[in-house]
Structure 1
Amino acid sequence: VMSKDIELDNIVLRKLIESDVPQILDIWRENNLYEGLYTIQTFATCDPDGFYVAYDLNEGKLDIYALDFFPFITKKVIGACAGPKSNENIAFIGLYCIHKDYQGLGLGLKLFKKIREHLGDDINIGLGAVPSQINTYKEKAGFQVEDIHRMVVFEGKAYGSEQLTQEIDGIFVQPINDTITERVIEYDAGITKYRRDQILRLTFNEPMSIAMAAIRIADDTIAGFGCLKSSNIDEVINGPLYADTSSIAELLMHNLLHSFHSALENGLIYFALNGTPDSSKLAEKLGLIRKEEVPRLFTKAIPDADVSRIYSILTPNFSPF
């Protein structure tokens, strides 16, 4: 398809449905972008109004079974943008993508505006900015508050996994199950300063993923937790990784990697927040390569969080932490 042949009248914006997700992940892969295979579903379940897609009706088919919901379900998703709310006070915009055949037509901006309209002006909205576009976001889109912390993306083979801490007296690591989920949610809220019960419960139960927690033997309290998940590319995503100390973060990472072998075979993506130097040190110890540093912008204020315990954030697309 050449851009000049595309009829914009046939392009429709609508809310995401679950069957859109594989096509969105394909567009992401074509643009060298990545996300967990089930992360979109997790966040869309929590805030279904926060996800929009663009469709080309010419490339699609009338689906008589879907007439109650949409006049068309098409085969051709051509773009997406999302701004799910983490709670009533904060949302994060991401998943911003347009199929390469449809770029340059202003569709991305239309999707972005749709999400901004949905969110309104009362909520604090964040995003990870392409460094070259930072002034546009600040001056034209209202994202005037720049976080003092940036996200640093690390990627590569975790050749250094055996260099990590493998034992700590008084601490054990176990898969997150129903008996400890509530305590992990409380621990998470102590770091992010808000509760995200549904997001975490769904995250811990995503297919093709693993979630583990570090627990103190003496009092059964949580000392950290982390997840690995399969992505739309070969590499495995680590998000989040939160821990009270760098050695606990290492212990968790070692257990996660050795319980999820595709991470060791195919490589790892790690979203450090440079609020603690230890987050980057852990990635470097693993042998991962620093790929990019992403400025984080907000419309109202930098959200409060205990960044000293954040090693890798949950997702750079839908969540500030």
Structure 2
Amino acid sequence: MSSIQSKDDIEIRLMEKKHMKEALNCFSVFDLQESLSTLEAFYECDSKAFYVAINRKDNRVIGACGAPVTTHNSGFLGLYVVDSEFQNRGIGKQLFESCLQNIGNRNCGLHAVPEKLEMYRNKAGFRVSEGISMVVCSGIPMNWQSLRQNVDKEIKIEVFNRDNNELLQKIIDYDSRVQMNGNREKLINLCLHNSGYTTFVAINDNTKQLNGFGCIRIDYEGKGMIGPVYGDNEIIGEVLIYNLLKSCPVTQTKGLLYMTISSSMTGIEISKKLELTETERCERVFTKHVIPVNHSLIYCLFSPNFGL
């Protein structure tokens, strides 16, 4: 299905690359977060999972939604938005249903904003709860220099060199460990080779084992957006976050978007150390089953829209 004619001269159709910036602009109006580089990567992995609503009168994107399939044959629905001028016309419902139709009989999850949780459960079939929420924080990170800066003598923190294929494979393997053997090789490859991403790794200098990694990029509004941050322990997680913030001075002027999970006490504690404002908690819900993931390794999640 490439397009559906809707009332009010609105067309629901598959997203094309040329629609991405307009979709993100529509999204950011509501203070919702995503970066162009992350959207591009998820789109490249599953381009038929993304839909837009087009106003035929001026050929403008006035809504969007996506549910890319990433791990464990499960989709994750996000980037769900309709321009306020066009709301209450059934456009959002058509976008949502187009994504679910593409998912078919496969499992799907989403981060449910509190005011929509009951609707997702009772009307859209997202009845399986993980018991964990995405915790959204933002603001100018204060006191970031007071975060832990060193792990121990054996663990070295360094910037990922995009030409280091051996280290890239270790990052892909570590991500698979976080995802409980879920394979996101293409996604990780695309993100880490994108110039918009800065990535740090934690490596044991003796064994050359990877003990964690973290990324930061710029969101559509120019703010720093941290994540994922994965690590073997809380010290590694905190030191990775320190280095990521140090590498991205724009966070001190434009601000930082920081998403952790409610089960990560360290992730939440770091947000408090940085004096970020917690703005929302969005429960993780699914249509069939919880997507397997090792929560103990997560300090900041990958994308607020498309999963941990």
TM-score bucket (shorter structure): over 0.9
**Alignment RMSD, CA only?**
1.4
Does 2:12 align with 1:25? no
Structure 2: where are the runs of 5+ without partners?
Answer: 1-5
Does 2:61 align with 1:77? yes
Equivalent residue for 1:315?
Answer: 303
Equivalent residue for 1:266?
Answer: 254
Equivalent residue for 1:89?
Answer: 73
> Does the residue aligned with 1:308 lie in a helix, a strand or coil?
helix
* Partners of 1:31 and 1:211 in 2: CA distance: 28
For residue 282 of structure 2, the aligned residue among 285, 290, 294 is: 294
- Calculate the TM-score normalised by the size of structure 2: 0.93
CA contact (8 A) 1:54 1:77 kept: yes
Does 2:227 align with 1:239? yes
- Give the aligned length: 298
1:84 is displaced (CA, Å) by 0.3
CA contact (8 A) 2:72 2:291 kept: no
> Does the residue aligned with 1:14 lie in a helix, a strand or coil?
strand
* Partners of 1:274 and 1:29 in 2: CA distance: 24
> Does the residue aligned with 2:151 lie in a helix, a strand or coil?
coil
Does 2:50 align with 1:51? yes
CA contact (8 A) 1:37 1:229 kept: no
Equivalent residue for 1:155?
Answer: 138
Equivalent residue for 1:195?
Answer: 183
Structure 1: where are the runs of 5+ without partners?
Answer: 1-6, 61-75
For residue 117 of structure 1, the aligned residue among 97, 101, 106 is: 101
* Partners of 2:71 and 2:149 in 1: CA distance: 36
- 1:109-160 Cα deviation digits (max 9, x unpaired): 0000011111112x11000112122121111111011111111111111112
Which has the greater radius of gyration?
A: 1
Equivalent residue for 1:4?
Answer: none
For residue 108 of structure 1, the aligned residue among 92, 96, 111 is: 92
- Amino acid in structure 2 at the alignment position of 1:149: I
Does 2:246 align with 1:252? no
1:9 is displaced (CA, Å) by 4.9
- Amino acid in structure 2 at the alignment position of 1:96: Y
- Amino acid in structure 1 at the alignment position of 2:175: D
1:276 is displaced (CA, Å) by 2.2
- 1:50-106 Cα deviation digits (max 9, x unpaired): 00011111113xxxxxxxxxxxxxxx0111000000035211000001112111111
- 1:260-296 Cα deviation digits (max 9, x unpaired): 2112332211111122211101111122121111111
- Amino acid in structure 2 at the alignment position of 1:309: L
- 1:187-229 Cα deviation digits (max 9, x unpaired): 1111111110011111112233211111111111111111111
- Amino acid in structure 2 at the alignment position of 1:233: E
> Identity, % of aligned pairs?
31
* Partners of 1:257 and 1:130 in 2: CA distance: 27
* Partners of 1:287 and 1:222 in 2: CA distance: 30
Does 2:168 align with 1:181? yes
